[in-house]
């Protein structure tokens, strides 16, 4: 019997190629999106879950309870050492200090190789590798990084540095400061970890590299200072956090006792906490889950629409089968068999489409996702079964309910083929989803355009950012003069970082010799006298600081003045101290506010100060008309000054564009899924129009005989779907407004959601729908009325 079902089902599909093709395409697109979204979600949910005892591994982070509660995904360097010594909540605790953008030099005879490592290096305590599961493939785990000047590197890095030679015993030099000997090789890092460092160095050597002041500094938090702990079984994070209040009481005084707090973050949550440096946000994964679910549902809806429209053409077949003794259940399973064949073909096509789309998806996320086939096969089987019964049950029941006499006489009513109201609901649902995605796309595009083209308060165009490896004053003066002499160079400034940067140094501030620091922090930027002119930052009061080694003058921004509830003129001439009151100076100017990070964050209080020891960036304003020879000359001058270093440059506007990387990824995904939803929706609309054309064959024939023109017949179809689209829009508009209002909350500076966005959405949807409906409706309108009436 099953074999017979399959044989007849295949014959029906071959006979109705258009119906079968459209059904397969719709289901394949929906399932392919489901497969990709499933892969994406499971990939991100798997981050750092592979460690042994992952449920007991936590990262320390810092909370500052000032005007607002702010969080930093790092801790003071001595904090974990104090926790380990004073508290007994954990089995193991280890510190790891990351330094990005480092230079590795390997010398072999006269051959010198330089490697720029953007991810950098990590100074780690030995227990780090007992807490996290990064296994050694060469070396002794018991003595890993136990002695000074030792290094362990991944197998990938070992091949990059030393080729096929045994890396153990080899020596490399870090930033032309310290030598390290490789004593072990780690297995290459899995893709699903946020700990991306591939070069680990002895923690005991860090003082030699970075200075000795860090180890006892409880007052500052360097973003690269991480610490991990493995809690004892039965100990909760709340217990450990309560215990850490003892560290606060022991190491802080005065107002700091209320400001500082140390907390624990489960290692599996690191990936999803954007504020603490995580990559993604779980709410976006939930959004993708529902988008995938709705795309699969709309694909099933398409099938139902097309199948019920096709049911009229099979009325006589069903009538004959019933007369010959077929039971309703047999007819039902016959149609389920057809649906199963279509679904199996669609799954095959979907897997092929997903395979093709996986590489672009990896390029978009800069990841290396792969299909986890055991999981994926289970997901596909569940989806296939759900699709078969969701898509096939309703049309199967419609066919099984046909009355044989009416079917043979071709006198089936609208009710007999399942009614029209359900299909209206289904099409409204499809276009509601499509319009939500269209509105979302328009809003994300508008916000990103605003973010990337709004006035930032400084000039970002044609500025080249070049590293400054040494704060040697003589070299800096010479290099500055040489760069300024290059044709095409308009201005040069030495600074700690540009006005907008991911690397922001925040510290407490004492104003006008007040007994207590202010209850908020300030963003400090070291710079020379050319900083304002290079970036075209405007002063609204006072003047720029003077040039000179002993100058202790400071510039602040408008937000700083507003925080003090003063006017710009009021702060001029007042004393201010930053960096734990170690740097004191006089405020001589107030800058117009500029954005010091992305539009996701508020403009911070900012202080620009002339401290040449904190300068490690060169900003060069160039004439883009002569960019190529200017950049070549800049390369030559820099390499002559720093022959042992590795030259790299980046344009400032490219750096700022990276602030919105995740938003651009989100935009690309929404655009893709909106396009697919529209295609699926159009297929569903085509199914609805096909049903209408079949149902109204006699009506159209009569109208044409009575003199109706083509436009009036087209409107017969048009008014039906126009009402459905308007209903879909009425439902979609508030849903889209709510979703995108929540999205825009992540931006401190954002666009407003105006009526023009919704007008653009409904117009674009109408245009797409008219094109879809127009083709099928025109075919019905041009049909010979004699044949139409005869068929009835």
Backbone angles phi, psi at 369, to 5 degrees: -65, 145
99: its two tokens: 């330094």
Give the pLDDT confidence score for residue 279 in this predicted structure: 84
Tell me the pLDDT tens digit for each residue of 685-740: 776 677 677 666 677 777 777 777 777 777 777 777 788 889 999 999 999 999 89
Q: Distance between CA 397 and CA 384 in Å, rounded?
A: 19
Give the pLDDT confidence score for residue 530 in this predicted structure: 94
Three-state DSSP class for 197? coil
Q: Distance between CA 124 and CA 228 in Å, rounded?
A: 11
Q: Distance between CA 562 and CA 638 in Å, rounded?
A: 41
Tell me the pLDDT tens digit for each residue of 622-643: 999 989 999 999 999 999 998 8
Backbone angles phi, psi at 674, to 5 degrees: -65, -40
Of residues 179, 182, 169, the one with CA closest to residue 208: 179
Q: Distance between CA 207 and CA 278 in Å, rounded?
A: 28
Give the pLDDT confidence score for residue 784 in this predicted structure: 66
Please, what's the largest Cα pairwise distance for the chain? 106
Give the pLDDT confidence score for residue 309 in this predicted structure: 65
Give the pLDDT confidence score for residue 239 in this predicted structure: 95
Give the pLDDT confidence score for residue 637 in this predicted structure: 93
Give the pLDDT confidence score for residue 399 in this predicted structure: 61
In the chain, what percentage of residues exceed pLDDT 90? 44
Using the structure block, give the residue that is written with the tokens 């020596």. 171
Q: What parts of the chain have a pLDDT lower than 50?
A: 407-408, 412, 416-420, 792
Give the pLDDT confidence score for residue 138 in this predicted structure: 93
H/E stretch holding 782: helix 755-782
Q: Distance between CA 719 and CA 725 in Å, rounded?
A: 10
Q: How far is CA 109 from the centre of its chain?
A: 45
Q: Distance between CA 622 and CA 462 in Å, rounded?
A: 6
Query: Per-residue b/e over 200-221, b at no fewer than 16 CB within 10 Å?
Result: bbbbbbbeebbeeebeeebebb
């Amino acid at each position: 019997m099953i074999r017979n079902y399959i044989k007849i089902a295949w014959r029906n599909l071959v006979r109705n190629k258009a119906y079968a093709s459209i059904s397969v395409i719709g289901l394949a697109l929906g399932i392919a999106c489901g497969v990709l979204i499933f892969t994406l979600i499971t990939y991100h949910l798997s981050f750092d879950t592979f460690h042994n005892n992952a449920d007991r591994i936590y990262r320390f982070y810092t909370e500052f309870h000032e005007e607002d509660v702010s969080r930093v995904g790092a801790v003071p360097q001595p904090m974990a050492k104090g926790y380990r010594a004073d508290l007994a909540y954990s089995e193991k605790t280890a510190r790891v200090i990351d330094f990005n953008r480092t230079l590795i030099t390997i010398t072999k005879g006269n051959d010198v190789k330089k490697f720029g490592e953007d991810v950098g290096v990590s100074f780690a305590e030995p227990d780090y590798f007992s807490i996290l599961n990064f296994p050694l493939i060469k070396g002794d785990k018991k003595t890993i990084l136990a002695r000074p000047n030792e290094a362990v590197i991944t197998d990938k890095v070992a091949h990059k540095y030393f080729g096929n030679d045994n890396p153990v015993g080899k020596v490399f030099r870090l930033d032309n400061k310290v030598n390290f000997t490789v004593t072990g090789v780690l297995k290459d890092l899995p893709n699903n970890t946020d700990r991306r460092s591939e070069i680990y160095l002895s923690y005991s050597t860090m003082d030699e590299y970075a200075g000795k002041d860090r180890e006892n500094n409880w007052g500052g938090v360097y973003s690269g200072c991480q610490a991990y702990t493995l809690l004892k079984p039965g100990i909760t994070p709340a217990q450990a956090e309560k215990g850490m209040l003892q560290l606060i009481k022991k190491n802080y005084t005065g107002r700091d006792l209320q400001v500082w707090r140390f907390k624990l973050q489960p290692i599996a949550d690191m990936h999803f906490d954007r504020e603490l440096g995580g990559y993604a946000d779980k709410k976006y994964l939930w959004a993708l889950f529902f988008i995938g679910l709705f795309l699969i549902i709309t694909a099933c809806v398409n099938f139902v629409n097309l199948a019920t429209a096709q049911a009229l053409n099979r009325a006589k077949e069903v009538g004959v089968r019933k007369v010959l003794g077929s039971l309703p259940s047999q007819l039902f399973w016959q149609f389920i068999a057809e649906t199963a064949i279509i679904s199996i073909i669609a799954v095959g096509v979907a897997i092929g489409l997903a395979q093709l789309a996986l590489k672009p998806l990896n390029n978009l996320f800069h990841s290396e996702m792969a299909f986890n086939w055991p999981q994926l096969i289970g997901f596909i089987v569940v989806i296939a079964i759900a699709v078969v019964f969701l898509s096939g049950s309703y049309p199967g029941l419609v066919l099984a309910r046909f009355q044989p006499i009416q079917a043979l006489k071709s006198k089936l009513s609208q009710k007999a083929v399942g009614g029209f109201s359900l299909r209206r609901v289904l099409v409204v649902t499809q276009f509601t989803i499509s319009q939500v995605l269209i509105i979302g796309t328009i809003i994300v595009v508008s916000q990103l355009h605003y973010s990337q083209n709004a006035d930032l308060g400084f000039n970002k165009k044609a500025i080249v950012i070049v590293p400054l490896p040494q704060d040697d004053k003589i070299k800096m003066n010479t290099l500055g003069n040489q760069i300024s002499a290059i044709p095409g160079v308009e201005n040069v400034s030495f600074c700690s970082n540009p006005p907008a940067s991911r690397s922001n140094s925040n510290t407490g501030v004492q104003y006008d010799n007040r007994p207590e620091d202010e209850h908020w922090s300030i963003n400090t930027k070291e710079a020379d006298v050319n900083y304002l002119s290079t970036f075209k930052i405007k002063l609204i009061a006072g003047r720029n600081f003077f040039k000179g080694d002993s100058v202790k003058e400071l510039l602040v921004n408008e937000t700083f003045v507003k925080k003090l509830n003063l006017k710009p003129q009021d702060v001029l001439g007042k004393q201010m101290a930053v960096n734990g009151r170690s740097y004191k100076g006089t405020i001589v100017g107030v800058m117009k506010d500029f954005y010091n990070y992305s539009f996701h964050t508020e403009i911070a209080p900012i202080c620009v100060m002339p401290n040449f020891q904190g300068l490690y960036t060169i900003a060069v304003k160039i004439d883009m008309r002569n960019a190529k020879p200017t950049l070549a000359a800049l390369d030559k001058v820099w390499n002559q000054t720093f022959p042992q270093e590795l030259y790299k440059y980046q344009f400032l506007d490219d750096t700022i564009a990276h602030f919105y990387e995740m938003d651009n990824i989100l935009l690309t995904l929404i655009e893709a899924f909106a396009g697919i939803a529209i295609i699926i929706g159009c297929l569903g609309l085509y199914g609805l129009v096909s049903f209408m054309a079949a149902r109204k064959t006699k009506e159209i024939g009569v109208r044409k005989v009575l003199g109706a023109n083509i436009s009036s017949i087209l409107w017969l179809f048009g008014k039906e779907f126009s009402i459905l689209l308007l209903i879909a829009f009425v439902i979609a508009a508030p849903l889209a407004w709510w979703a995108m209002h929540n999205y825009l909350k992540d931006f401190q500076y954002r666009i407003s959601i105006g009526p023009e966005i919704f007008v653009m959405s409904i117009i674009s949807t109408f245009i797409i729908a008219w094109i879809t409906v127009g083709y099928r409706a025109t075919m019905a309108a041009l049909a010979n009325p004699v044949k139409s009436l005869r068929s009835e």
